[in-house]
Chain A
Amino acid sequence: MALEVQFEKRLAAYNLNVAFSCDADPLAVLGPSGAGKSMTLRCIAGLERPDRGRIVLDGRVLFDSSRGINLPSRERRIGLLFQHYALFPHLTVAENISFGLDSLPTVERDARVKRQIAQAHLAGFENRSPRELSGGEQQRVALVRALAIEPQALLLDEPLSALDTHLRSQIERQLIDTLATFRRPALFVTHNMEEAYRIATNLVVLTKGRVAAHGPKEEIFRHPPSLEVAQLTGLKNSSRARQISTNTVEALDWNCILRTHQSISSPPKYLGIRAHYVDFLEAASCVSSGANVFPCWLVRSSETPFRITLYLRLHNPPDGTGEHHLQAELFKEKWLRIREHPQPWHIQFSPESLMVLPE
């Protein structure tokens, strides 16, 4: 059970050039809009033709430019869930689901549609028109329709983006369950890194048509290979860096010398630290003894119901330009304690949470 993808396609803005594979564990294709995510899915589904390359599903060659093979969509047996679902507006829910089953005998087709409808908790909706359904119900019908043909692989194009926020977590839960029982290659495209992390096992990070990272999600979030990938995984603080010794680095934009945990193999280009890892020292005793401790001043802040983001300036009080060096994110409880202390506050970059980025 594997989908192997490797192709190039010339697009107006850049060349799409991707290579990755997907087994029975769900794979998220993460990237900013316009990175070529949807185009990649469309090429796999056979709706677009790559210029060069090879796409193989379970040993079945779907596309191979060197051998002149390009199976049409209808022969690929790949389920595709469109971003806006693409339900047939002139057909009922049941007719939509049975659309791909016309080669089956009527009795078997009806039985399968009935079973699918029951499984997806859509009983009672059979004769409704798609436009009478809520967004979540439409998504479910589209997913059931794609799964009804018993596809060898499933592709989902931003499956949750068209839903209201309050529905999203519930539908996401159902999607995770569906993918868990599918047990065949499943790819889903998203620009939301938290969604990607929750749903997928493995990640492909796509930027400007290139695979910037490919691997298990934990690995990519912990050790992003580049600044670009780190930022896509939510990194807010980065600085250009210059190596001093095997475990000390100068952060040029922050104007400080930092000890790192990893001993550095290749020369670092950037240093990064996630906003929630920026640590505030409350006891004065730690300030003199700890490593990587620096004074900082508050430039401005931004609140959500339970958390606060502080924009901080290192070494000197704010100069009135509003420029900050770092963002720190913390729970309100801690913030209430910290603001009792006079500035400068002291923050620590713990060596374990510093990211050393070679590019």
Chain B
Amino acid sequence: MPLDLSPIWISLETSLTATAITLVIGVAAAIWRANRRGVGPALLDSIFLLPLVLPPTVVGFLLLLIFGRNGPLGRLLSHFGATVVFSWPATVIAAAVVSFPLMYLSVRAALEQVDAHLLQAARTLGASEWRVFRRVALPLAWPGILAGTILAFARALGEFGATLMLAGSIPGRTQTIPIAIYFAVESNDLHQAVAWSLIDIFISLAMIAGTYYWTHLQNPARPRWTRASESRR
């Protein structure tokens, strides 16, 4: 039987979309958190980090409660004729929720590492807060943000439990590679399980190679450094 390749595209589309969403929300949350102290933000932190420590099946079950037919968001969406459960967006939601903590933690650490004096220097030079962020904080935090993005993408790509709970395993619609492997093994189709595993290994290796290439040749902080050491005498 020829292999149905749809899990590859579903996995990639899901992971990329989920990563893009967590990148935007993660950076926004980290910026918001950077200027705040106190109990409220700290409590919110623990909610942000919950998906990292909870078993994915629990996360998936909670999402099912929220997005299910009687859940608060599910009921709201059904007013507009939309159902999330067992649809492709459900795979994205599950992947985004479980990968969010990794993105949030990395971006926060990266932004906190930027020397506050540099931001203050930019302000005394007349820069608006947006310019301070775009021209100083973001470029200096970039390696950390990139690392967070890679971690989040890897986590999204490997997501299984929450996806199965919320999106199920509908071939051609919600069946990602990890889920395809699980059901192949369950139905004793070892050839297919091996094929999917090899494809997953290939995607992962390609991703590592790509980021290595990117951080060493595209990252604005690095090439200048190498040029610097060369041009010294």
With both chains docked as a complex, state the minimum distance between the C-beta of B122 and any C-beta of chain A, in angstroms. Answer: 7
Which residue of chain B is the closest to A142 with respect to CB atoms?
B121
Report yes or no: A73 in contact with B136, Cβ–Cβ below 8 A: no
Say whether A82 contacts B121, CB under 8 Å: yes
User: Quick one: which of B121, B136, B232 contacts A80, CB cutoff 8 A?
Assistant: B121
B228 touches A47 (CB 8 A): no
Assuming the contacts A80-B124, A103-B126, asked whether A90 and B139 have C-beta atoms less than 8 A apart, the reply is: yes
Given contacts A47-B123, A86-B117, whether A74 and B128 have CB atoms under 8 Å apart is yes
A-side residues, CB < 8 A to B, are: 45-47, 72-80, 82, 84, 86, 88-90, 92, 99-100, 102-103, 128-129, 131-132, 145-146, 149
Q: Shortest CB–CB separation between residue A322 and chain B, in angstroms?
A: 45
Q: Which of A78, A79, A129, A146 has the most CB of B within 10 A?
A: A129
- In the complex, A72→B118 CA distance in Å? 16
Bound CA–CA A80/B126 (angstroms): 11
Q: Give bound CA distance, A73 to B131, whole Å.
A: 14
Q: Cβ of A82 and Cβ of B126 under 8 Å apart?
A: no
Q: A100 CA to B123 CA in the complex, in Å?
A: 9
State whether the Cβ of B49 lies closer than 8 Å to any Cβ in chain A. Answer: no
Whether B224 is near chain A, meaning CB under 8 Å from some CB there, is: yes
Which of B115, B224, B225, B228 has the largest number of chain A CB atoms within 10 A?
B224
- The number of inter-chain residue pairs (CB within 8 angstroms) is 70
State the Cβ distance, B119 to closest chain A Cβ, in Å.
9
Asked, given contacts A80-B124, A90-B139, whether A131 binds B118 with beta carbons under 8 Å apart, the answer is no
A82-B135 Cα distance, complex, nearest whole Å: 19
A99 pairs with B127, CB closer than 8 A: yes
Q: Is the CB–CB distance between B126 and A86 below 8 Å?
A: no
* Known contacts A82-B117, A86-B115; is-contact A74 B123 (Cβ 8 Å): yes
Chain A proximity of B78: nearest CB distance (Å): 47
Give bound CA distance, A99 to B120, whole Å: 13
Between-chain CB contacts (< 8 Å), 6 pairs:
A46-B123, A88-B136, A89-B118, A90-B139, A129-B225, A146-B124
A102 near B117: Cβ-Cβ < 8 Å: no
Q: Is the CB of B224 within 8 A of A129?
A: yes
| CB pair B117 A84 closer than 8 Å | yes
Cα A149 to Cα B126 in complex, Å, equals: 8
Q: Is B140 an interface residue (CB 8 A)?
A: yes
B70-128, CB < 8 A from A = 115, 117-118, 120-128
Q: Assess the A90–B126 pair: CB atoms within 8 A.
A: no
Q: Among the listed A47, A79, A89, A131, which residue makes an inter-chain contact with B120, where contact means beta carbons less than 8 Å apart?
A: A47
Chain A residues with CB below 8 A from B125, complex form: 74, 99-100, 145-146, 149
Say yes or no: A78 contacts B124, CB within 8 Å: yes
A97 CB to closest chain B CB (Å) equals 10
Contacts of B140 in A (CB 8 A): 89-90
List the B side residues contacting A128 at CB < 8 Å.
228
Task: Please give me the residue from chain A that is nearest to B118 by CB atom.
Answer: A86
Determine whether the beta carbon of B225 is less than 8 Å from that of A74.
no
